[in-house]
Amino acid sequence: MNALEQAKWEIDSNLSSFHYQDKVVLELKDSLSEQEFTLSGNGTYRICGGSETALLYGVYELLNALGFRMFSPDEWDLEKPAELEIKPLDIHWKPRLEYRGFFVVEARETPAMMRWMAWHKLNLWGAKLHQPELARQFGMKLRGNSPSGMHRAFADFLPPERYYATHPEYYALRDGKRTADMTRGDADNFCTSNAEAMQVFTDNLTEALEHGSLSDVDLLNLAPFDNGHWCECDNCRAVGNFTTRMLNVAYYVQKAIAKKVSRPVVLVVPAYHETLDVPDRPLPDDFDYSKVLIQFFPIERCYAHDIDDASCFANDNLNKNLLAWSNLGKFRLIIGEYYNVSTLVSIAAILDKGMAHDIPYYMEHGAYGFDYMHVSTALWGELAVNNCAFAAALCGEPFDIRDFCERRYHAAASEMVEFYDILRRATANCKCLKHYQAVTYSPERHRCEIYGLTYRLRSNSEELFLPGHFELDKDYGPAVSLETTVRLLGEASAKLQKALLSVSGDELASARLKMDLRRLQYTLDIVCFLYTFTKLRLAERQGDEAAVKRLATEWRIQGEALRKETTMMDHVREEGAPNIYIYKNGLTALLFEKQFDEYFHLDGEADLAANTKAGQK
């Protein structure tokens, strides 16, 4: 199917039971831009689009207006109205952001996910696909990576095993020696001021774009090693800061693409870690800002506070970087947010209000595209709120939580609005709790020092908390304490169970609430595990042996239960691909399996199996 056939299929499959499929006319119009559509009429409707994809967007817009909703890709989350809500419509839509969607590096597109995205007018997905035609059917723009990963371009296209022996000068000078190891994740970037090295690198890269493994890619991530090291030679230092050096690489790659690649390819260079700062030297006069986009990655940020909240160190620091990029007035920015970043591992952190503030703010400051990493493609539960709010904000539309709850939960709507208020507050400090955020900036390391409870527990740090922002039992406005988080999650759970009772007999609302309950329980299990371990560490320090014994028993039961949890962190990775450690089970999602096994002198899975068997006897 192509996008037009999909549009017609949506009309037939959704409207024919209302005998309404003949009341909609579709028309392609050259005067409209590629993603632009108009929708007008009253009872009969005309949709005009600048492309087949724009017509598909128009059909979804009409379905929404008539009372349909698609809350998530899950089969129980398509809501059909009892009666069509016919009304006069006069809508003219064009995108505020060119690219809207998700940062995906694995092949994990599903028909339901692609449909949910197009329904919400999202269009950015990864170029690694099982079914490229499926992505095209739903109008996706595809962004690719270097063959062995986003941060691996230097290793892939200037491999030391091929060039080092004859040309050590191509590679980074570190401590007076040219280094040849590009196997590590945080390896040494090549000597980017060496003209011949740059020539070989761009030749190999453009060859892959024109004839090789990147021949399907239209946007290409061009990134240095993740936390890598830069060449210390005098010529490289003279080029400027790390950002200037990376943008010079992009400049030469873009020039080579213009000369040697027969289709337009846009480069995406990360503003991330050591390249968060704007370039400190002028770029060449013929630098093509329309072909080199900057992806701004605020990974060290906090979600208890808005991105422009100067009272929050993590966000204030990043906001200054954002404003510096924005003030240059030259670059098109893609914002790369972290609403389900790795170690959040799909816990039910509710971030809709923050998105409603931050996304328009980013748009005012140079955003041209927007995505976030590690979206899951099924079993969303409460995460449907985040993703629906995210899509609405990217399209410049308000997200109405009351409408969401009324249509998704029917009789339990009011209860669920209150539920989300509680859960939103409970999970506001999710970055401190489960991921990390910046706490100070260290200029000599060009890096932020970071804080995260999970990491502090793992290393048994003296100070487990972040005074003034995340403490054991004291709240600071939205930055709630660990104890408040646990208490509010308990309240949310009670509220959700009550809501479930109130919709008995309503199959759809029940199915949705049961999925929500499942994800909430997982979230509660994760947080209670961290809470118990925190208390255990504190009891150890006080030498309270009775408490240590009791808490260790509690902690072990919680950990063994989490080890059996393998569903809630699924759907964020490629099916059939080797499992990524963090997504293996609930314990690895906490990064805690090894510590846990060591604490109880278990030998990982083998011992667990033995214990389980013994328990069964």
Residues that bind Zn ion (CB under 5 A): 191, 193, 231, 233, 236, 302, 304-305, 312
> Considering beta carbons, is residue 174 or 537 the nearer one to Zn ion?
174
Alpha-helical (H) ranges within 224-329 are 234-239, 242-260, 313-328
Cα–Cα distances (Å) from 66 to 84, 379, 402, 576, in that order, read 5, 26, 17, 39
Token code pair at residue 410: 């029917």
Residues whose CB is less than 8 angstroms from the CB of residue 364 and which lie 6 or more positions away in sequence, other chains included: none
- Nearest-approach distance from CB 334 to Zn ion, in angstroms: 24
Contact, 553 vs 508, CB < 8 A?
no
Q: What is the distance between the terminal CA atoms of the chain, rounded to a whole angstrom?
A: 55
> Considering beta carbons, is residue 439 or 589 the nearer one to Zn ion?
439
> Considering beta carbons, is residue 185 or 468 the nearer one to Zn ion?
468
From the list 166, 165, 185, 182, the residue with the least C-alpha distance to 174 is 182
3-class SS letters over 230-250: CCCCHHHHHHCCHHHHHHHHH
Contact, 39 vs 58, CB < 8 A?
yes
CA distance linking residue 177 with residue 173, whole number of Å: 5
> Considering beta carbons, is residue 198 or 278 the nearer one to Zn ion?
198
- Nearest-approach distance from CB 231 to Zn ion, in angstroms: 3
> Considering beta carbons, is residue 102 or 190 the nearer one to Zn ion?
190
Contact, 424 vs 389, CB < 8 A?
no
> Considering beta carbons, is residue 197 or 572 the nearer one to Zn ion?
197
| Residue whose token pair is 């401190």 | 432
Sheet containing strand 24-28, edge to edge, reads 24-28, 45-49, 37-41, 89-93
- Crossing angle for the helix pair 507-542 and 545-563, nearest 10 degrees? 150
- Nearest-approach distance from CB 294 to Zn ion, in angstroms: 23
- Nearest-approach distance from CB 68 to Zn ion, in angstroms: 38
Pairing assessment for the beta strands 266-271 and 219-221 based on DSSP bridges = parallel
- Nearest-approach distance from CB 172 to Zn ion, in angstroms: 7
- Nearest-approach distance from CB 236 to Zn ion, in angstroms: 3
> Considering beta carbons, is residue 191 or 530 the nearer one to Zn ion?
191
> Considering beta carbons, is residue 188 or 382 the nearer one to Zn ion?
188
> Considering beta carbons, is residue 233 or 508 the nearer one to Zn ion?
233
Pairing assessment for the beta strands 89-93 and 99-103 based on DSSP bridges = unpaired
Rg (CA), the chain: 26
Cα–Cα distances (Å) from 556 to 18, 431, 536, 612, in that order, read 56, 25, 11, 13
- Nearest-approach distance from CB 27 to Zn ion, in angstroms: 49
- Nearest-approach distance from CB 243 to Zn ion, in angstroms: 16
CA distance linking residue 565 with residue 348, whole number of Å: 15
- Nearest-approach distance from CB 433 to Zn ion, in angstroms: 12
- Nearest-approach distance from CB 244 to Zn ion, in angstroms: 13
- Nearest-approach distance from CB 457 to Zn ion, in angstroms: 20
Phi, psi (5° rounding) for residue 324?
-65, -45
- Nearest-approach distance from CB 317 to Zn ion, in angstroms: 11
> Considering beta carbons, is residue 48 or 351 the nearer one to Zn ion?
351
Secondary structure E strands in 179-243: 219-221
CA distance linking residue 174 with residue 167, whole number of Å: 16
SS3 90: strand
User: Residue 141 belongs to what H/E stretch?
Assistant: strand 141-144
From the list 372, 366, 350, 273, the residue with the least C-alpha distance to 317 is 273
- Nearest-approach distance from CB 469 to Zn ion, in angstroms: 6
> Considering beta carbons, is residue 236 or 488 the nearer one to Zn ion?
236
- Nearest-approach distance from CB 173 to Zn ion, in angstroms: 6
Q: Provide the residue type at 316 as one letter.
A: D
> Considering beta carbons, is residue 450 or 561 the nearer one to Zn ion?
450
> Considering beta carbons, is residue 113 or 341 the nearer one to Zn ion?
341
> Considering beta carbons, is residue 195 or 494 the nearer one to Zn ion?
195
Residues whose CB is less than 8 angstroms from the CB of residue 80 and which lie 6 or more positions away in sequence, other chains included: 14, 67, 68
Q: Quick one: how far is CA 96 from the chain centroid?
A: 20
> Considering beta carbons, is residue 265 or 302 the nearer one to Zn ion?
302
Q: Provide the residue type at 493 as one letter.
A: S
Contact, 131 vs 125, CB < 8 A?
no
| Residue whose token pair is 């506070």 | 305
- Nearest-approach distance from CB 392 to Zn ion, in angstroms: 24
Q: Give the dihedral of Cα atoms 162, 165, 169, 171; nearest 10 deg.
A: 50
